[in-house]
Amino acid sequence: MNIIGLTIKQTHEGLIKKEFSAVEIAKDFLDKIKKDDKKINAFLTVTEDLALAQAKAVDEKISKGEEIDILAGVPCSLKDVFMVEGIKCTAGSKILENYIAPYDATVVKKLKDRGAVILGKNNTDEFTMGSSGENSAFGPTKNPLDLSRVAGGSSSGPAAAVAGDMAVFALGTDTGGSIRQPASFCGIVGLKPTYGAVSRYGEIAYASSLDQAGTMTKTVEDCQIVFDAIKGKDQLDSTSVESKISNYQFSISNLRIGIPREYFAKGIDGEVEKIIRNAIKKYEKMGAKIEEVSLPHAEYALPCYYIIAPSEASANLARYDGIKFGHLADKAKNLLDVYLQSREEGFGPEVRRRIMLGTYVLSAGYYDAYYVRAQKVRTLIKKDFEKVFEKCDALFAPVSPFPAFKLGEKIDDPLTMYLSDIFTISINLAGLPALSLPCGKTEKGLPVGLQIIGKHFEEEKILNIAKIYV
């Protein structure tokens, strides 16, 4: 029986029926990674010993006739910003090249407790800053569907690992689109939960008021299983929240779907628009009520983000000074030189760009003009959503204005690269949950994702809406 390519439930059933063992599964995936990842570069670290030990523990349980969890023995991988005790955690940066995580992130602990098998750590744009994976200090990840193209970013490695059948599921993070956009580019399901729905403890921070851990899976069903496993209030993350809503039931004829007209404006690729409109039509045929709505401040989301996120990043990344954390420049003469040189040698260009941008907009004389103004615009963006959600259950939009682009195509122009996230960023500013659902391919065979956006803590609803798509 072919193990590679199975969903979580299929893997689970195979284990229970003893069609294969957890160790056999782990070995198959480890072999697949060894064979395929040289050309894709989805993994920065492969944790073979850990994976085999975890798999063996699951097999022992099965042989004793004990009941096993649905995730037990299922191979997964983690974006290299989630700490796994005793394993290297680089955040895609040279400054953390040799950093060994001293403890497990809460999401990692939850997966380990459920018996999921950790195959390794996935590539990412440095400190998750990027939209193509090309800002990784360890080389870009290539799209498994077309090796001349990017896998998207910043969760480039998790997306390519799942799309390339090198893991059954993966965890990523999303600060401005970093789960949804690579999921869309690689043709998999990516969920960015509500801000606070999943603990950030042990996740290396980029912009703390926007960062959110989430799932990257082959199917919506898998997405639900993994999300249920990692969500919930965590004592170690004071911003985490227990979701109150569950078991959402609906009938399709009562479903009201809003289509924000600003998301179909200039700049969207013709083929992408057609595929998204077709997907919307399918829901209409099933009986959903489709209504055009307006998010008047949508065009301000991107500039708003590029003040708020770099501001938070400039503070969060101050800890990488060669002393508290990170690479230490050894030729420095005094303390200031230690800081200047360690950070110069350790950080790549995009990270330095955002740290400087954040430092500038927070500096004396500019704080009100940039930062406070952006926070006020953030309020208006949030209110736009509150208003449309008074009459809609969910919003449908494209994830990205275009499909996966060529490696090197946008890397020299930061602003053009930033436009990749124009349809995803406002969701982070408002803290909403949103899912990328594969809904078609372009003539060149490049996947396109439909973005389903819900109200705070209504992941269940967007998952159920996604589930009925055929």
Q: Which residues are catalytic?
A: 79, 154, 178
Cβ(1)–Cβ(17) below 8 Å: no
- Is the four-CA dihedral 100, 105, 107, 108 of positive or negative sign? positive
Length of the chain: 470
* Residue ranges in 17-79 assigned as alpha helix (H): 22-40, 48-63
Which of 375, 442 has the CB closer to another protein? 375
We find the least distance from the C-beta atom of residue 269 to another protein, in angstroms, to be 22
When binding is defined by CB under 8 A, the residue of 307, 404, 422, 453 that contacts another protein is: 307
User: 362, exposed or middle or buried, with CB in 10 Å at 0-12, 13-18, 19+?
Assistant: middle
Q: Does 455 bind another protein (CB under 8 A)?
A: no
Nearest to 307 by CA among 417, 412, 429, 179: 429
We find the least distance from the C-beta atom of residue 246 to another protein, in angstroms, to be 17
The contacts of residue 118 (CB under 8 Å, 6+ apart) are: 47, 50, 51, 54, 76, 77, 78, 84, 108, 111, 112
Which of 71, 87 has the CB closer to another protein? 87
Whole-number Å distance between alpha carbons of 232 and 66? 26
Which of 5, 349 has the CB closer to another protein? 349
In this structure, the number of other CB atoms found within 10 A of the CB of residue 236 comes to 13
When binding is defined by CB under 8 A, the residue of 375, 409, 442, 467 that contacts another protein is: 375
With contacts defined by CB under 8 A, name the span among 216-224, 273-281, 294-302, 438-446 that binds another protein: 294-302
The interface mask with another protein, positions 407-446, x = CB under 8 A, is: -------xx------------xxxxx--------------
Which of 244, 285 has the CB closer to another protein? 244
With contacts defined by CB under 8 A, name the span among 11-19, 333-341, 403-411, 458-466 that binds another protein: 333-341
Whole-number Å distance between alpha carbons of 418 and 420? 5
Q: Does 353 bind another protein (CB under 8 A)?
A: yes
The contacts of residue 19 (CB under 8 Å, 6+ apart) are: 1
**Residue numbers of the site for another protein (CB under 8 A)?**
100, 102-103, 194-196, 209, 235-236, 238-239, 241, 297, 299-300, 303-304, 306-307, 314, 318, 321, 323, 332-341, 343-345, 347, 352-353, 355-360, 363, 370, 372-380, 382, 414-415, 428-432, 456
